[in-house]
Amino acid sequence: METSAPLDIVIVGGGTAGWMVGTALVSGLRPHQARVRLVESDEIATVGVGEATIPAMRDYNRFVGIDEVEMMRETNGTFKLGIEFLDWGFKGSSYHHPFGVHGAGIGGAGFHHHWNRARLAGHDLDIEQFSYAIAAARADRFEFPNPDPDKIDSTYSYAYHFDASLYARYLRKVAEGRGLKRTEGKVVDVTRDPLSGDVASITLASGEVVKGDFFVDCTGFRGLLIGQTLDSPFEEWTDWLPCDRAWAVPCARADRFTPFTRSTAREAGWQWRIPLQHRTGNGYVYSSRYISDDEAAATLMANLDGEALAEPRQVRFKAGRRTASWTRNVMAAGLASGFLEPLESTSIYLIQVAVMNLLKLFPGKRVEPALVEEFNRRVDMEYDRVRDFLILHYHANTRTDGELWKHCREMEIPESLKHKLELFRHRGVAPNYHDGLFALPSWISVLLGQGVLPGGYDRLVDNVPLAQALAEMERQRSAITRRMPAMPTHADFVARHCAISERAVAEAVA
C-alpha cells in the first residue's frame, strides 16, 4: 500500500542536471505528492560547459512551461538548425547533420532511396540541396518552422545554443518560484539505513542533517551518492570513444552569426564552435593518448575566429555510464550517471530522459524494484544508441593524419553498430526509432556524410520511373531555393525576437 504522505526528494548538485531535474519535479508533481529540496555547494564549481542542445529540449521546455523568448533572453541564446561537420570523413570534407529531413518520400519509398537509385544510375546530385534546414543553415538564416505540414518550410526543427551557467541560474529562478527549497552547503557525509542499505540522509559542512525518502545525485563526475556511496559500477567506453579531455575558451562574437554548431575534426579529436549572442563558445575535445595538453591548447587558441575572452580551461572525463543509474533510492542524472562526449550535444538530452522517466515511474516511500529495472532499461537503451551514433562519426573515416583516426577506423565496433552499418551499406536501411535518439534523418545524414554509401535501395523505388522521380526531386529542390531569400537572417531574427540588451552584452563579456 502506498502512503499518502508526500515523498521527500533531495537533489544534490546545482549544475545543469540538478536544476533541470528540480524544475521538472516541481513542475510535474503537486505538493501533496512530493517536497523537493536541492543542495548545492558554492565551493564546488559546476562544469560550466554544455551550451548546445537538440530539438528534444523544446519538449522539456513545453513540459515545465518555460517561455522560450524569456529563456533565450536570459541565457543569451541563439537558434540551432543542426551541426556542420568539417574534415570528419576526410580532410576537406564537409556535411551537415540537420534537424530536418533530406527531401520528402516519393511513391512510398524514402527520399534517400530515390537519391541513391539516381546516384547509382550516374546522376550526381548533392543530397544536402534537398534539405530545407541545411539550405537555411548555409545561408545563416532562421525562422520558426511553418506549422502547416504541407509546406516546404515545415520540414525542419530547431534547438538552442545558450550560456550554460545562465541557464542553470534561470532554471533556479523558475524552480524556486514553484516551491523548490534550495540549500547552500557542502555535503561532507552520507548516512545509509542500516537495515535497507538505502541512503537515509546527507550531512552538510554546517552540521545540518538533511533526511530524504529519495535522492537524486547530480554531483557531476564525482557521483557522490551513486558512485562513492552506493558503488554503482561505471562501464567504460574509452576504447570506442578515446577522447578524454577538453580545453574550452570563449572568444569575441564573429561577424558570421551561424544558426548551427560547427564541429571541425582535428588531428587528435575535434573542435566545437557555438555562437551565442554575446560571445562564441569554443573547445577542443581530444584524446590525451594522441596529443599533449599544451599542443591541444595551442591548437585551440590558434583556431578561434575572434579574440579570446579568457584563458582556456581544461575538463577531464571518461566515456561510459553507470550500469544502474537508479540504484536503491538514488537516481543519478547528468555527469553523475555517465558521460558521452558533446559531439552531438546529447548530455542535456540525457538529463531530460532521466527526469521524465523518473516522473513516469515515480516511486512511493518504498522503491519498487520493477520500476528501477524499467528505468535503467530505458536509460541504458538511450545511452547505447547515442554511443553507437557517436562511434560512427569516428569509425567511418579515411583520414590519413593522426593515430587517433587510424585507431578508430580499425577498432572493433559494438555489434549493434556493425549491424546498422551492414544494413545501410547493403540496401540503405537506417534505424528508425519511434522513441528516443536518433531518428532516421540523423542516421542518414551522418552515414552519408561520413562516406558510407549504400549499394542498393528500397525495392519500392522501382514503382516510380527514374525520370519521374528526378522531376519530383527537382521540384523539391527548387521549392527550397525559391523560399530561401524570404527567410530572415539569423542575426535579424534573434535581434527581433529575443535580443539581450547592449548593457547585458557588455556585462557578459566584461
| Site residues (vs ligand FAD, CB under 6 A) | 12-18, 39-41, 44, 46-47, 49-53, 164, 186-187, 218-220, 222, 224, 246, 248, 283, 315, 317, 334-336, 342, 345-348
Q: Which is nearer to ligand FAD, 348 or 391 (CB)?
A: 348
Least distance in angstroms from the C-beta of 165 to ligand FAD: 9
Smallest distance, ligand FAD to C-beta of residue 475, A: 37
What would the grid cell of residue 121 be? Answer: 544510375
d(CA 493, CA 77): 12
Separation CA 413–CA 239 (nearest Å)? 9
User: What count of residues does the chain have?
Assistant: 510
What is the CB-side half-sphere exposure of residue 126 using CA atoms within 13 A?
9
How many other CB atoms are there within 10 angstroms of residue 410's CB atom? 8
Question: Could you say which of 80, 211, 365, 406 is catalytic?
Answer: 80
Shortest distance (Å) from residue 484 CB to ligand FAD: 28
For residue 228, what is the DSSP state?
A: I
Q: What is the 3-state secondary structure (H, E, C) of 118-181?
A: HHHCCCCCCHHHHCHHHHHHHCCECCCCCCCCCCHHHCECCEEECCHHHHHHHHHHHHHHCCCE
Give min distance, CB of 14 to ligand FAD, in A.
Answer: 4
Binding residues for FAD: 14-17, 187, 335, 348
* Spatial CA neighbour of 76 closest among 171, 15, 166: 166
80, burial (CB in 10 Å: exposed 0-12, middle 13-18, buried 19+): buried
**Comparison of 386 and 448: residue with beta carbon closer to ligand FAD:** 386
CB nearer to ligand FAD: pick between 191 and 463? 191
Closer residue to ligand FAD in complex, CB, 225/391: 225
For ligand FAD, give the closer residue by CB, 224 or 300: 224
Are β-strands 34-40 and 181-184 bridged in parallel, bridged antiparallel, or unpaired? parallel
Cis peptide bond N-terminal to 438, omega within 30: yes
- 80 is an active site residue: yes
Rounded CA separation 47/221 (Å): 9
Cβ-Cβ contacts under 8 Å for 278 (sequence gap 6 or more): 76, 163, 253, 500, 504, 505, 508, 509
Sign of CA dihedral 140, 146, 147, 150: negative
Annotated binding site: 14-17, 80, 187, 335, 344, 348
Which residue's CB is nearer to ligand FAD, number 333 or number 452? Answer: 333
Smallest separation (angstroms) from ligand FAD to the CB of 202: 8
Among 84, 16, 13, CA closest to 51: 16
Which residues are annotated binding-site positions for 7-chloro-L-tryptophan?
A: 80
Across 214-276, the runs of DSSP E, i.e. the strands, are 214-217, 234-236, 245-251, 261-266, 269-275
Q: How far apart are CA 99 and CA 224, in angstroms?
A: 36
Question: Residue ranges for the binding site for L-tryptophan?
Answer: 344
Catalytically annotated residues: 80
